[in-house]
Amino acid sequence: MAALSPAPGGLVGQAPVAAERRRDRPRIRLAVRIVAGAAILAATALVVGLGPFVRGIAAISPPSVLAALVLAAIATAAAAWRWRVVATGYGLTLSRREAFAAYYRSQFLNAVLPAGVLGDVHRAWAHGRGQARVGVAARAVVAERLLGQVVQIVLTLAVLLPLGLGSSLVPLAWSAGAIAVLVAVVAASAALLPRPRRILRRECALLRPVLARPAALSAIVLASAVVVASHVALFVVACLTVGLPLDGGIPAVGLIVLAASAIPVNVGGWGPREAVAGAAFALVGLGASAGVSASTAFGVLALLGVAPGAVVLFLARRRRP
């Protein structure tokens, strides 16, 4: 008796289902990140109450908004410079004016849209579309953000670990060290898998000519340091705005809060940042409520600081035929 072969229709029917599942994965991941960020924010509010959030918003003043606009402009110019250096290494063309305007726009979109990365997605798509190289442009944006975060982590550890010895920042120093070790272990474990290893090898090969040039590497490090310094300065402004004393440990705490802002589980940047700020301020004896108030003021000022990106977005839409 001949063996019965499976009906080809079953295989044909399974292909669209599998393709649809693959298309749904990014949306599912985005939804999970948003829900997780909202849950962290809600949990923080349950612990400290709504008062610290209200105080942080109510403390915003015209001088603090002006400082936010100036510091955001400096950070945007530095980040756009870093992007140009990396994009050039990928063989893309990017003018100073285009990079500055596009980075403002992407920061605004990151701030007002969930997950905190959709502005970067739009920046990569808009840049690559004009040169018919969307894939390469996307990889350049990912590399640019990744290099910036690497410099930020190194600076954070370089500042926190020495300061933590024999001071009230010992818990923060140990926490930063533990987080760095955890990130290194996760990254190393992922790099051992076949597919991530291939991707990492390919991207390193593309970035090697950029990172091998001392001028380009120095520009990336310097630009990233300016971005971090501008954000820390804005956090100090936020602390002063909510009435906290200017303490030498505030900038170090700001570095921890900035690191939490980079966690891709948030709602427009909100969530882990407030939770970590509350915990960090409690560890150094300033109180969790003060940390949440400062983080809330920082979040509002950061949003107002990138508001010029809305103007860039509006003008771009008006010029579109």
User: Which tens digit of pLDDT belongs to each residue from 64-119?
Assistant: 999 999 999 999 999 999 999 999 988 899 999 999 999 999 999 988 887 678 89
Structure tokens at 99: 């990079």
**Position 7 in a domain:** no
Alpha-carbon distance of 20 to 5, in angstroms, equals 26
Burial 310-321 (b: 16+ CB within 10 A, else e): eebbeeeeeeee
**Position 28 in a domain:** no
Structure tokens at 227: 């971005």
Place of tokens 């977005």: 313
Cβ contact 298:232 at 8 Å: no
Distances (CA, A) of 23 to 26, 31, 184, 295: 7, 14, 30, 36
Place of tokens 């597919």: 195
**Position 22 in a domain:** no
Cβ contact 137:128 at 8 Å: yes
Alpha-carbon distance of 102 to 251, in angstroms, equals 29
Domain count, the chain: 1
Half-sphere exposure of 219 (CA within 13 A, CB side): 21
Instruction: Name the most confidently modeled range: 20-24, 142-146, 235-239.
Output: 235-239
**Position 4 in a domain:** no
**Position 210 in a domain:** yes
**Strand partners of residue 242:** none
* Mean pLDDT along residues 221-243: 96
**Position 206 in a domain:** yes
Average the pLDDT over each of 94-98, 124-128, 190-194 and give the range with the smallest value: 190-194
Q: How many CB atoms lie within 10 A of CB 40?
A: 22
Spatial CA neighbour of 223 closest among 152, 172, 287? 152
* Mean pLDDT along residues 133-150: 89
Mean of per-residue pLDDT scores for the chain:
83
Alpha-carbon distance of 232 to 238, in angstroms, equals 10
Query: What pLDDT shows up at residue 1?
Result: 47
Is pLDDT larger for residue 202 or for residue 128?
A: 128
The residue segments making up the domain with residue 202 are: 44-319
**Distance between terminal CA atoms of the chain?**
68
Reported as a single tens digit per residue, the pLDDT across 270-318 is 888 999 899 889 888 889 999 999 999 999 999 999 999 999 988 877 7
Q: How confident is the model at residue 320 (pLDDT cuts 50, 70, 90)?
A: low
Is pLDDT larger for residue 170 or for residue 150?
A: 150
Query: What pLDDT shows up at residue 231?
Result: 97
**Strand partners of residue 14:** none
Alpha-carbon distance of 286 to 26, in angstroms, equals 40
* Mean pLDDT along residues 14-37: 69
How many residues can be counted in the chain? Answer: 321
Cβ contact 316:127 at 8 Å: no
Spatial CA neighbour of 136 closest among 100, 86, 101? 86
**Position 37 in a domain:** no
Q: Is the pLDDT of residue 226 over 50?
A: yes
Q: Is the pLDDT of residue 57 over 50?
A: yes
Query: What pLDDT shows up at residue 224?
Result: 96
Alpha-carbon distance of 222 to 38, in angstroms, equals 34
Q: Is the pLDDT of residue 253 over 50?
A: yes
Spatial CA neighbour of 267 closest among 80, 46, 115? 115
State the DSSP code for 4: P
**Strand partners of residue 267:** 270
Alpha-carbon distance of 207 to 212, in angstroms, equals 8
3-state secondary structure 233-250: HHHHHHHHHCCCCCCCCH
pTM of whole model > 0.95?
no
**Position 80 in a domain:** yes
Q: Is the pLDDT of residue 264 over 80?
A: no
* Mean pLDDT along residues 226-238: 97
